[in-house]
Amino acid sequence: MPLHPVHAPEGRDTPLPIGGTHRVNGHAMKPPWPEGMQEIVLGMGCFWGAEQLFWQLPGVHVTAAGYAGGVTPNPTYDETCSGRTGHAEVVRVVFDPRVTDLETLLRVFWEAHDPTQGNRQGNDIGTQYRSIILTTTDGQRQAAESSREAYGEALSRSGKRPVTTEIEPLEAFYYAEEYHQQYLEKHPGGYCGLKGTGVSCPIG
């Protein structure tokens, strides 16, 4: 959860430098996006595997690893991992709603991780690994909340714990360092912490 600014690292005014071109599809990593694109930001544990999951989906224009949901501007990885920035590791997903719909992205999100674990995903422990959806429109917020309720009911029927996923409006997305961008494309076979519950999400 976001901390009081007095306890958080000061951060910096300048974004962390990134290459600017997506290593997999060659699209620009920074806005402006092509006309008609929409954006949602998703946190589901370590962002390496999460980013790969979404860049592989049809209709996803570009992805980026970053930090969001906290208070420190332009935090570093070390600052985020300290737990003092309040940020989660997240993936910016820019998608074409004419090719894929939000419900499909949300279903992938819910099924690819365990949203009942609070501030962890498996062996990755800390507030930076919490499950979070950061929305950019009221429609996204409503869809996210409906999907959370639907998946929570499905999990409950399977004997799972309650969903802990936060849903908030996106205030700021900060790019992670260049070495985190498309990490699993640069390091095939690298660490991927994604592990779902095995319960299907009844949306989309």
Query: How many angstroms separate the first and last alpha carbons of the chain?
Result: 29
Read off the pLDDT band of 5 (50, 70, 90). Answer: low
Minimal CA–CA distance to 167: which of 112, 126, 110? Answer: 110
State yes or no: pLDDT of 196 exceeds 60.
Answer: yes
Q: What is residue 128's predicted lDDT score, i.e. its pLDDT?
A: 98
State yes or no: pLDDT of 140 exceeds 80.
Answer: yes
Q: What is residue 7's predicted lDDT score, i.e. its pLDDT?
A: 83
Q: Mean pLDDT score of the chain, rounded to an integer? A: 96
Average pLDDT over residues 198-202: 97
* Peptide linkage before 32 cis (omega within 30 of 0): yes
Average pLDDT over residues 160-174: 98
Residue ranges covered by each domain of the chain? 5-9+18-186
State yes or no: pLDDT of 89 exceeds 90.
Answer: yes
Query: Mind listing the pLDDT tens digit for each residue in 25-60?
Result: 999 999 999 999 999 999 999 999 999 999 999 999
Is 5-9+18-186 CATH 3.30.1060.10? yes
Inter-residue contact 165 to 120 (CB < 8 Å): no
Active site residues: 46
| pTM (2 d.p.) | 0.96
Q: How far apart are CA 40 and CA 42, in angstroms?
A: 7
State yes or no: pLDDT of 4 exceeds 60.
Answer: no
Provide the residue type at 144 as one letter: A
Report strand pairing: 120-121 vs 88-95: unpaired
Read off the pLDDT band of 105 (50, 70, 90). Answer: very high
Q: What is residue 204's predicted lDDT score, i.e. its pLDDT?
A: 73
Catalogue the E-assigned strands of the chain: 38-44, 60-68, 88-95, 120-121, 124-125, 131-135, 166-169, 173-175
Average pLDDT over residues 12-30: 97
Going by the DSSP 8-state scheme, the letter that residue 15 receives in this structure is: P
Average pLDDT over residues 151-180: 98
